[in-house]
Amino acid sequence: MDARISALQKEAASRSDVIGLAGGLPADELMPKEDLGRALAYVATRRDEALQYGWPEGTRQLRGWIASRLARRNATIDPERIIITAGAQQALSIAAASLKHHAIETGDATYPGALDAFRGVGATIRAHGNPATGDARYVTAGVEMPRGVAVDCRHALAGSAPLIVDEAYAELRFDGTTPAPLIADAPDRVWHVGTISKTIAPGLRVGWLIPPSAHHDAALELKSAADLHTASICQAALSRLLTTTLDYDALVARARSAYAERADRMVTALRRHAPSLSFDEPAGGFSIWIETDDHRDEMEFLAHALDEGVMVDPGSLFRPDPAAQSGLAFRLSFSNAPIDRIDEGIARVVRALRPTTTATAAVAQAAGTR
């Protein structure tokens, strides 16, 4: 990430007066803190393996739970194929390293971490619309990132190219439906990526990768070379949580409902404060994606937003080719802002969007009333 963007985001995160619409963070209050705290304490004190070295593929118990959830979605996966990773990000970085001799087709805006992973291994990235034969593809299944629209991504199965399927938000569609996992249709070329970061807690850094069987051993070598294995304490606590006190389906249902309510607040606020802005109403996930015809400098806009007391994710982060971005774009996350601050957050974004001279006046005016 551009060091200037990073610096602004850190400043924003450190200021209690700033409304945070950046980052795609799950809501603090939806995480099962008490249950997790108990599970962590239990396994730390009662299970030697929770503090000890483990095997690179992760624990059998956690891999079994993942396989059982996929089975309920009609994908029969041998748990031996599953590799527990440090979040979906590490799954993407291992898939990227495995596929680095392919160009990877991503769409014209996608998850920034995937772009980082692909760039990190030196892969060529192609934007949507022109995948060449042999290109690999990356899709965010269920809920498309960053647009928040519902997709099943079955079109991506066309052809015979390798396909990285990122299910980070797949279970967070507001209508409660979850499309069938693509890995069931093309197990020999789908790299399936999942995580508990959006539902339980990202701070555990637990995700998973299911590579095609022919690539499993090489992918496992990459995992082992990367960090030996995913934190034993996190795997053990998660397993305990999932097999004792936590009803995961109920947790996901509560999350869907809570995020749908926040999404609705943000949609309403956008229509009120900026009726001319067009955007897709989110069908799931954490965010709304805005593209404008405004040609102002992105950093200038971010600085104005911070002056107004709000932070968003700049669109360039999501672009395979940031220089080709035609107009100002940004992502607004409703997921971890206090629900009663979303309207004010959007009002601040809209003030920051005003032409510069007006914005400066608005800053001066806002400063007087704070």
Nearer Cβ to its own copies, position 88 or 150? 88
Smallest distance, Å, CB 207 to its own copies?
9
The interface mask with its own copies, positions 299-338, x = CB under 8 A, is: ----------------------------------------
Of residues 188, 203, 261, 367, which one binds its own copies by CB under 8 A?
Answer: 203
Rule CB under 8 A: say whether 42 interacts with its own copies.
yes
- Locate 251 and state its tokens: 């947790």
Which range of residues in 32-40, 125-133, 285-293, 338-346 is near its own copies by CB under 8 A?
32-40
Nearer Cβ to its own copies, position 6 or 360? 6
Rule CB under 8 A: say whether 254 interacts with its own copies.
no
Of residues 49, 294, 300, 321, which one binds its own copies by CB under 8 A?
Answer: 49
Smallest distance, Å, CB 202 to its own copies?
5
Of residues 5, 184, 186, 226, which one binds its own copies by CB under 8 A?
Answer: 226
First to last CA, the chain: 31
* Nearest-5° Cα angle at 25, 68 to 332: 120
The interface mask with its own copies, positions 158-197, x = CB under 8 A, is: ---------------------------------------x
Is residue 142 within a helix (H) or strand (E), and if so which, with residue range?
A: strand 142-143
Rule CB under 8 A: say whether 202 interacts with its own copies.
yes
Enumerate the β-bridge partners of residue 16. Answer: none
Rule CB under 8 A: say whether 1 interacts with its own copies.
yes
Rule CB under 8 A: say whether 122 interacts with its own copies.
no
Nearest-angstrom CA–CA distance, 225 and 215: 16
Smallest distance, Å, CB 276 to its own copies?
33
Smallest distance, Å, CB 289 to its own copies?
19
Prior bond to 26 cis, omega within 30?
A: no
Of residues 8, 12, 23, 328, which one binds its own copies by CB under 8 A?
Answer: 23
Minimal CA–CA distance to 210: which of 192, 226, 188, 190? 192
Smallest distance, Å, CB 270 to its own copies?
25
Which range of residues in 71-79, 129-137, 199-207, 302-310 is near its own copies by CB under 8 A?
199-207
Nearer Cβ to its own copies, position 10 or 271? 10
Count of residues in contact with its own copies, rule CB under 8 A: 59
Contacts 24+ apart (CB under 8 A), 189-192: 189/160, 189/161, 189/162, 189/163, 190/162, 190/163, 190/164, 190/165, 191/91, 191/95, 191/98, 191/99, 191/162, 191/163, 191/164, 191/165, 191/215, 192/165, 192/167
Minimal CA–CA distance to 23: which of 39, 9, 42? 9
Q: Annotate 186-253 with DSSP letters as a single string.
A: -TTTEEEEEESTTTT-GGG--EEEE--GGGHHHHHHHHHHHHSSS-HHHHHHHHHHHHTT--HHHHHH
Smallest distance, Å, CB 24 to its own copies?
8
Nearer Cβ to its own copies, position 87 or 150? 87
The strands making up 313-314's β-sheet, listed across from edge to edge, are: 287-291, 329-333, 313-314
The interface mask with its own copies, positions 82-121, x = CB under 8 A, is: ---xxx-xx--x-------------------x--xx-xx-
The interface mask with its own copies, positions 232-251, x = CB under 8 A, is: xxx-xx--------------
Query: Alpha-carbon dihedral of residues 139, 143, 148, 154, nearest 10 degrees?
Result: 60
Minimal CA–CA distance to 84: which of 168, 186, 237, 195? 195
Buried b / exposed e along 116-140 (16+ C-beta atoms within 10 A): ebbeebebebbbeeebeeebbbbbb
Strands 329-333 and 287-291: antiparallel
| Interface with its own copies (CB under 8 A) | 1, 3, 10, 23, 25-26, 28, 31, 33-34, 36-38, 40-42, 44-45, 48-55, 85-87, 89-90, 93, 113, 116-117, 119-120, 197, 201-205, 217, 221-222, 224-234, 236-237
